A and B are shown apart, each in its own frame.
Chain A
Amino acid sequence: MEDATDRIARPWGTRVPYGRHETWPARVDTFLAEGVEPGAVRRWVQSASILHSDGDAMDIAVADGRMVGVRGRDVDRVNRGRLGPKDLFGWQANASRDRLTRPLVRRDGQLVETDWDTAMDLVAARSRELLDSRGPGSIGFYTSGQLFLEEYYTLAVLARAGIGTNHLDGNTRLCTATAAEALKETFGCDGQPGSYDDFDHADVVALFGHNIAETQPVQWMRLLDRLEGADPPRLLCVDPRPTRVAEHAAVHLAPRSGTNVALLNALLHETIRHERIDRDFIDAHTVGFEELAARVADCTPKWAAEICDVPAARIEEAAELVGTAEALVSTVLQGVYQSHQATAAAVQVNNLHLIRGMLGRPGAGLLQMNGQPTAQNTRECGANGDLPGFRNWQNDAHVADLARVWNVEPETVPHFAPPTHAMQIFRYAEQGSLRMLWISGTNPAVSMPELPRIRSILSQERLFTVVQDLYLTETARLADVVLPAATWGEKTGALTNADRTVHLSCKAVEPPGEARPDLDIFLDYARRMDFRDKDGGPLITWDDPESAFEAWKRCSAGRPCDYTGLSYARLRDTSGTQWPCDDRAPEGTARLYTDGISWAHPDMCESYGKDLETGASQEVVEYRSLNPDGRAMLKAAAYLPPHEEPDEEYPFQLTTGRTLYHFHTRTKTGRAPQLNDAAPDVWVEVSAGDAERLGLGEGDLVEVTSRRGSLRGRLRVTGIRTGLLFVPFHYGYWDTAGGSGPGPDTPGRAANETTVTDWDPASKQPLFKTASAALTLVERGGGRPSPAPTTTASAPVAAGAAPPTSGGPAARTTEQEPTEFPHGHEEGAR
């Protein structure tokens, strides 16, 4: 199948059908820059993607000391050689001319270039001054889901034991906090139960608020290949948009935003009513079944149909699909995580698997997904509002154990309250008790809710802001010190995807100018601050990625995310391996909970749980009485309406989300020509019925307004649910005259101008899916189409309303049989 495919026009490439229980055949996708012949490539350097959470393994092509392309790794269990559009084209952003190459400091209101010593001395001096005058609570760190494991771990040690602050969180708060919280609530501990290999074995795959075709396009290729093979799976899609998944689904439910708990309770009701439950599994491995059954007893499909605005018959069909599956895989993402009652809803999916006994065997997979490539590492390293190694901040033995690993006194590590979550860190900065905020690898001036508020926080004179990034982002423009970072391909480190697969990403080329790896920046800071352990030795004893990885292994030892069986050498030899990997599981672990629930015991669990409605912490005494033997906990929840509902002034529901061609705030993908051209500007999606009612059409420039702010974009009329608007969240201001925000000649462009500051009380994940908004016409499109892609959920409802999205010759990618490559082959998943 040597083939050159335009992978902008055909994002998922060519089908390689395969049957149930077979190994997914490999297909090697290669993209080389124009004019580069395969023979000109001097080196292929091992890596994996950092533009989504799939963990697609790839090799970076290097010629003349620069990156010239990428190729999928056919030996890898995750992607079997395939690459998605962002993997294929995103790397070009590394060589963008507007990379930051020197540190910047603010002088007389302007950011000016300086040297590393000056910039880092300034950061260290301010840190010391604040520690002396205001204490560790005046310093906070907000990091990313896009750095490497070694970097998060180093940051966690220097923040928690060096500075001694409780204020360290990642932007994973916006994307994956609910996944972690839902796993903690049900299993007592974080850790993805399932494996992507479960897709090979499932007869039903249920996707809850998860547009996998655009968020993990390579796993969608896997599902498409199965759909064309023998004994294909049937799909349940819960999504208010006409996604590609919806198109292929046996049952598609498009519920009203903010009604997930009602829908899931109805599915549980039907499952129990029809006795489609595994009594033995429930008795052996769970607590709380009677309470759950009582809670959903009245949640009939008819009841849910009213709330969700979905026909009761469709809910019954969905219930039959998940209730009669032999091997059910469920995946959950932002449609659930970024709605109100996020944790309560995600936990009901866990409950569905537990009462059906769909856990810990091939095809019975539960995947609480991640949005970002290294979100799992942020979580396990304790850079996300948890302690490293999934240790429990309320358990003194866990804190003592962590203190032993770090050779500090337990009191050194703040554990008097839960690690502060990002939304609260920003609140402390707003009210002035936090005076220094170090932001690494993320762009809150575009990604956080209610941007007018975020800009006002970051612009305060009294807040000293350090921003570490690749470009002069919207956030960097508001900073006091900007540190130029090296990125993927320019530094080495490990990263772990959403199904616990650890990859090594190696340095292929030098970073531009004076840009430095994030790890080096953190180590430099630790040296300047002279952090010490309890014996007076250096707190941080490592000095490069591999020694940092070895240090992390010691911290992970004996914990659920045990890395002790891994090493850089092993990751080079074998490609991706799933944790836990230790002497009991030297080859890694495909599935958790194959032999009962292992980490929920009161002495071992990461969390004693929270009240799903109020977020109140439970104490060990309650946990012990509820769950003395450490079983999975079936936690029931009642449906509650969202805080903000449409009214006369703001008659629409508004949801934000991603598109296939962009990632996060578009800092990289907006600088890759093929990706940028595929979706060059913000747009607004509306249903055909609403468009007709309001006399609006394709390409009309419209304004979306909420109580917080407004944005403008060109309209795309799609098959989205009536009464709902969709705006992609990627677009900001770096490529506009506004720079960091709207200006006199720059209208609002970021979706988050309109979103609300409100979050799920349990996971503290902000709500991006349930706001109310008004839609007004600014000017007619006059034949100019919306910039929305036509290949995805944004496709126009009227064929031909917009020219088809294509990449032309610049996006030609080869797809080859793997035998033509020198990699060895390994057996697949089974």
Chain B
Amino acid sequence: MNGIDLTLRTLHRGERHLAHDLVTVAERHRTEHEVHHVATDLARWSREHMRQLAETAAERGVKLGEPPDHSTDGVFATLREKASEAVVHRPEPGLLLLRDLRELHVRAAENSLHWEMLSQAAQASRDSALLTLASSCHPQTLRQMRWTNTMIKNLAPQVLTSL
């Protein structure tokens, strides 16, 4: 396996983790409506990145897995949502929310760096298919980071000064 294949595999895993984490955060913070809705939307981007990564990898003879079927997590998803509704009137989940947003940001930043590597390698090896892949996905990863950063910026003052 060469370095490009390795990066594709790493990125695929990274996007899978991010998709999973976004959905989990959306469920855990069901009562933070904007987080819930936007995180759910952003998970779709990561799943789409996985699909495209798998396609490109397959052309190179590398087999990557399918995007996870989220419905298998049904019981836990419901539990997370119910837990969120149970503490709707409590301020403490705010701290958990900030931690979760931070984790999402770090996860997205890792993916972003891997997209950067992939894009650089694509240019060095004049692989236009690979470059197209990176330039279509990387901007969305940056937008995922910008979103988590904005939410942290907007929510942190209230959460951290009210406890």
Which A residues are within 8 Å of any B CB, using their own CB?
Answer: 134-135, 137-138, 166, 416-418, 420, 423-424, 427-428, 430-433, 460, 611, 613-618, 640, 643, 757-759, 761, 764
Contacts and interface: CB of A to CB of B under 8 A. Distances in A.
Contact of B146 (A418, A611, A759): A611
Contact of B162 (A134, A416, A611): A134
Nearest 8 CB-CB pairs, A to B?
A433-B162, A616-B146, A614-B147, A616-B150, A616-B147, A417-B154, A432-B91, A757-B33
Nearest to B42: A614
B158 A433 contact: yes
Contact of A138 (B34, B88, B144, B162): B162
Given A417-B153, A614-B147, A430 B33 contact: no
B89 A616 contact: no
6 contacts: A137-B158, A423-B34, A611-B147, A614-B150, A616-B143, A758-B33
Interface in B38-73: 38, 40-42
A135 B161 contact: yes
Contacts of B40: 643
Contacts of A640: 41
A618 B144 CA distance: 13
B158 A615 contact: no
B74 interface: no
B89 A433 contact: no
A417 B34 contact: no
Contacts of B149: 616
B94 A761 contact: no
A626 to B, nearest CB: 13
Contact of B91 (A420, A433, A613, A615): A433
B146 A427 contact: no
B7 interface: no
Given A427-B33, A431-B89, A640-B41, A615 B147 contact: yes
Given A420-B158, A761-B34, 14 more contacts: A135-B161, A137-B162, A417-B157, A423-B33, A424-B34, A430-B31, A431-B31, A431-B93, A432-B162, A433-B94, A433-B159, A611-B146, A617-B150, A643-B40
Nearest to B149: A616
Contact of A614 (B93, B146, B158, B161): B146
A613 B140 CA distance: 11
Interface string B8-50: 0000000000000000000000011110011011100000000
B90 interface: yes
Contacts of A764: 34
Interface centre among B144, B154, B161 (most CB of A within 10 A): B154
Contacts of A432: 89-91, 162
A614 B158 CA distance: 21
B154 A613 contact: no
A433 B91 CA distance: 6
Contacts of A611: 143, 146-147
Contacts of B162: 134-135, 137-138, 432-433
Interface residues of B, number: 28
Contacts of A616: 143, 146-147, 149-150
Contacts of A617: 146, 150, 153
A377 to B, nearest CB: 25
Contact of A428 (B34, B88, B90, B158): B158
B161 A137 contact: yes
Given A416-B157, A614-B38, A431 B94 contact: yes
A430 B146 CA distance: 27
A618 B149 CA distance: 11
Nearest to B97: A431
Given A432-B91, A614-B146, A615-B147, A427 B41 contact: no
B140 to A, nearest CB: 9
Nearest to B163: A433
Contacts of B89: 430-432, 460
Nearest to A414: B157
A431 B91 contact: yes
Nearest to B92: A431
B94 A615 contact: no
A422 to B, nearest CB: 12
Contacts of A614: 38, 41-42, 143-144, 146-147, 150
Contacts of B31: 427, 430-431
A134 B143 CA distance: 34
Interface string B135-149: 000000001101101
Contacts of A757: 33
Contacts of B161: 135, 137
Given A418-B154, A460-B89, A427 B37 contact: no
Nearest to A431: B91
A418 B162 CA distance: 18
Contacts of A427: 31-33
A767 to B, nearest CB: 10
Contacts of B153: 416-417, 617
A135 to B, nearest CB: 6
Interface string B72-111: 0000000000000000111101100000000000000000
A430 B88 contact: yes
A764 B153 CA distance: 16
A427 B161 CA distance: 16
Contacts of A430: 31, 88-89
A163 to B, nearest CB: 14
A643 B90 contact: no
A432 B88 CA distance: 9
